[in-house]
């Protein structure tokens, strides 16, 4: 299984076929390599070091997009569409807010609000990916 989202193939005048479906896409938005860095780093910082927490979040965001781009370059013929990288970055940010209490607190959200952000992201990001992919394949 490629490490980035595989878009459907456009066939001239026919319906696009193939590509990843929702379950595969959900696993690919935030790579495990990013989580392996971010989770222990954010937990170790706790709530008293907001500046360093911001640095870790920005590093996680850059690492998410950079790692997925790097993997996409290696996937000959199955490269993700450009909007995937934007959605993956957004998915990381929503995941960080929804799963790390110190990140949620830093942006002024309580745990319920952070959970709602994560839930909405899990629902809307794959939907947005499908819409953008369909628009891109048609053009």
Location of structure tokens 């970055």: 89
Evaluate if residue 110 carries a pLDDT over 70.
yes
Q: Is the pLDDT of residue 7 over 70?
A: no
Distance CA 52, CA 136 (A): 38
Tell me what pLDDT residue 8 has.
Answer: 55
pLDDT at 33: 86
Q: For 36-57, write each residue's pLDDT tens digit.
A: 899 899 989 887 888 999 999 9
Q: Report CA torsion sign: 100, 4, 25, 23.
A: negative
């Amino acid at each position: 299984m490629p490490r980035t989202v595989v878009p459907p193939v456009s066939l001239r005048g026919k319906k696009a076929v193939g590509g990843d479906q929702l379950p595969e896409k959900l696993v690919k938005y935030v790579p495990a390599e990013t989580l392996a860095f971010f989770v222990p780093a954010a937990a170790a910082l706790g709530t008293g070091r907001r500046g360093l927490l911001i640095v870790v979040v920005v590093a996680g965001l850059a690492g998410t997009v950079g790692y997925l781009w790097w993997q996409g370059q290696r996937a000959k013929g199955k490269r993700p569409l450009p909007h995937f990288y934007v959605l993956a970055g957004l998915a990381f940010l929503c995941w960080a807010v929804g799963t790390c209490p110190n990140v949620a607190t830093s942006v002024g959200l309580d745990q319920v609000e952070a959970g709602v952000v994560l839930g909405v992201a899990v629902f809307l990001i794959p939907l947005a990916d499908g819409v953008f992919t369909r628009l891109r394949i048609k053009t």
